[in-house]
Amino acid sequence: MRPPLRLSPLSADQIDELHELYRTTKDVRLRTRAQMILLGAEQGMIAPAIAQIVRENEQTVRNWFKRYEAEGIEGLKDAPRPGSPRKVTPEYVSRLVEVVRQRPRSLGLPFSMWTLARLADYMAEHTGIRVEGETVRVHLKEVEIVLSRPQHKISSPDPEYMVKKDDRGYTRWFERGRGLLLCR
């Protein structure tokens, strides 16, 4: 069994910075890491006890203790991941938000409602960055914008349209469960 690992004492500013991070971050993993450090610093808890509280492995808690002591609060953030760089830039997202808040017809487009595919096509045309509609949806969701499905409503200039639509004057059979239902 390994000897208990404790954090060295932290200053009031460091603890305040960790509290602020814990309260404001939306990243669950970052929040858990801040919680580990706070439990170690404020409560004087050791890695095995913290591991039970945050439901992580003891070694994971030890690793984050060491990384925090070496790099500070920046060490709690995820390291860059391998792979191709992101296509979508912050400028793209801000332009996307501007565009989605305008009616397509005001931009000279032949349709009146945005869809994810239409937004992706429009943005590709004007920014040169081609992404899928799902990527557009994810970035809109981050700024709390959700596109709803278009509601298609059939209407008529005839003032008696709704009466005629509801009273078709013929009998229809509907299958319901095991039997048939006669509606007029």
Q: Convert the pLDDT of each residue in 146-172 to its tens digit.
A: 987 766 666 677 777 766 666 554 444
pLDDT, tens digit, 9 for 90 and up, residues 90-104: 999 999 999 999 999
pTM of model > 0.85: no
pLDDT, tens digit, 9 for 90 and up, residues 115-154: 999 999 999 999 999 999 999 999 999 999 998 776 666 6
Q: Decide which of 129 and 8 is more confident.
A: 129
Q: Decide which of 173 and 152 is more confident.
A: 152
Mean pLDDT of 54-82: 91
What is the predicted pLDDT for the residue at 162?
Answer: 67
Mean pLDDT of 55-70: 93
Mean pLDDT of 76-87: 87
Mean pLDDT of 64-68: 93
Q: What is the mean pLDDT of the chain?
A: 85
Does position 72 have pLDDT exceeding 60, yes or no? yes
Question: Would you kindly state where each structural domain of the chain is located, as residue ranges?
Answer: 12-76, 90-142
Instruction: Find the radius of gyration of the CA atoms of the chain.
Output: 29
Question: Hey, what amino acid is at 42?
Answer: E
